[in-house]
Amino acid sequence: MNRIKIHRLLNSDSPRDNVLVMGWVRTRRDSKDFSFLEVNDGSCLKNLQVITDNHLSNYSEIRKVTTGSAVLISGRLTPSKGTGQKWEVQANSVKILNIAPESYPLQKKRHSDEFLRTIAHLRPRTNKYGAAFRIRSELSFAVHKFFRDRGFFHIHTPIITGSDCEGAGELFQITTFNLNDPPKIDGKLDYSLDFFGKEANLTVSGQLSAEMLALALGDVYTFGPTFRAENSNTSRHMAEFWMVEPEMAFCDLEGNMDLGEELIRYLTNYIVETCTDDIDLFSKYVDKTLRTTLENIKSSEFIRLPYREAVNILKKSGEKFEYDVSLGKDLQSEHERYLTEQYFKKPVILHDFPKTIKPFYMRVNNDNETVAAMDVLVPNIGEIIGGSQREERLDVLELRMNETGMNKNDYWWYMDSRRFGSVPHSGFGLGFERMMMLVTGIKNIRDVIPFPRTPKTIEF
């Protein structure tokens, strides 16, 4: 007799003898001759109702089973006589694997997200977080399916690097030095004696490596963890997050925007179609407007708007923003959200930003003022994608590296790619957790990843 997942069991067409189920008890209800156990094994939102009666040798023990206890049940799947479920299991035997003491923190009442963050090791056992992490798995699969179906190759880019792709200096350094007594030369750290013989850090983006592969394989994507030491404690930033980064050779900014739009719509649609029960839970208890938001994303064409026009709209809006809007300044999250939530009420792709606020690798436009950059904004979140066409002209690239103060010696290989067979190419990064927030309606990024990493928190 093999163990069967509750998800499969509840989708059975006919009764079955000899089923074996393992899971955790959510609740126990007793009547005179029966005890009902609601068992969940994490495979789906629904619990399995298990009926135990006084024929079972350990019936008196079963009547003491607590919430959170682990059980192994064998029995018969039969149509349920009660309402609320199609099937139930009549137990032939119940083996109690572990009795959870009354101190189990997840008793039946609803707990706040803040409290559940303090018990992140247990929160996946709640309906909400179980659903979130199942959706996360589906979303990840959908990413791979999307790219595979379109002929992209999945590549792995390094996590430890010697470069700073975004040039923003938000790097976590990696070293094997004894920090209490590191080797120094002329008063400065002597990195030649460090593990890699030079400064090393955790990657902020796989882009630069992905470009090298795109310029060989055509269309590629990398999907991995990225790290940023930005000390901002917001509901949309983490120090460790996952990014999906496609890179396409022979592709301009317009093709890049097309792909970003298609990807977001595809992922939204995929989750709506495959995670029905879990999405129902979120639209009932987390965000009542979730279904409307998701329908809106599925059905609307994204607005495409140059940065300059966005600034005009914001200036004329009459809104009181905390931060000023002016040409040449980066937009803040409040501005992004105004555009996508209030003004257009649908996703917006801003493009052609001033070069002064963007990294060195973005392609300079003919006006010599702006670069072929794009940011995709969606309701409830703001920026979900950042990307660009890349500068493929070596001379312009070198100028930009000088302007932005990059150390060219570190990027000789990057410049080489513009020397040998350079072609127009483009790509972007989709924040995976922000996509999770979009499809679940969860408002804090800490709640869409099992163990969030943010300033001053490294528990679990």
Residue 9 binds ligand 4AD (CB under 6 A): no
Nearer to ligand 4AD by Cβ, of 28 and 418: the residue is 418
Rounded least distance, CB 20 to ligand 4AD, Å = 41
Q: What is the 3-state secondary structure (H, E, C) of the chain?
A: CCECCHHHHHCCCCCEEEEEEEEEEEEEEECCCEEEEEEECCCCCCCEEEEEECCCCCHHHHCCCCCCCEEEEEEEEEECCCCCCCEEEEEEEEEEEECCCCCCCCCCCCCCHHHHHHCCCCHHHCHHHHHHHHHHHHHHHHHHHHHHHCCCEECCCCCEECCCCCCCCCCCEECCCCCCCCCEECCEECHHHCCCCCCEEECCCCHHHHHHHHHHHCEEEEEEEEECCCCCCCCCCCCEEEEEEEEEECCCHHHHHHHHHHHHHHHHHHHHHHCHHHHHHHHHHCCCCHHHHHHHHHHCCCEEEEHHHHHHHHHHCCCCCCCCCCCCCCCCHHHHHHHHHHHCCCCEEEEEEEHHHCCCCECECCCCCEEEEEEEEECCCEEEEEEEEECCCHHHHHHHHHHCCCCHHHHHHHHHHHHCCCCCEEEEEEEHHHHHHHHHCCCCHHHCCCCCCECCECCC
Q: Mark the segment that binds ligand 4AD (CB under 6 A) among 66-74, 142-150, 394-402, 430-438.
A: 430-438
Nearer to Mg ion by Cβ, of 379 and 431: the residue is 431
Residues 176-205 binding ligand 4AD (CB under 6 A) are 205
Rounded least distance, CB 224 to ligand 4AD, Å = 11
Nearer to ligand 4AD by Cβ, of 243 and 397: the residue is 243
Rounded least distance, CB 364 to ligand 4AD, Å = 16
Work out what residue 223 binds among Mg ion, ligand 4AD, none; the CB cut-off runs from 5 to 8 Å by kind: none
* Site string (361-400) toward ligand 4AD, x via CB under 6 A: ----------------------xxxxx-------------
Nearer to ligand 4AD by Cβ, of 21 and 445: the residue is 445
Residue 386 binds Mg ion (CB under 5 A): yes
Residue 207 binds ligand 4AD (CB under 6 A): yes
Rounded least distance, CB 282 to ligand 4AD, Å = 20
Residues 228-247 binding ligand 4AD (CB under 6 A) are 228, 230, 237-238, 241, 243, 245
Residue 431 binds ligand 4AD (CB under 6 A): yes
Rounded least distance, CB 398 to ligand 4AD, Å = 20
Residue 387 binds Mg ion (CB under 5 A): no
User: Which one of 427, 440, 449, 452 is in contact with ligand 4AD (CB under 6 A)?
Assistant: 427
User: Which one of 44, 77, 131, 165 is in contact with ligand 4AD (CB under 6 A)?
Assistant: 165
Nearer to ligand 4AD by Cβ, of 70 and 212: the residue is 212
Binding-site ranges for Mg ion (CB under 5 A): 386
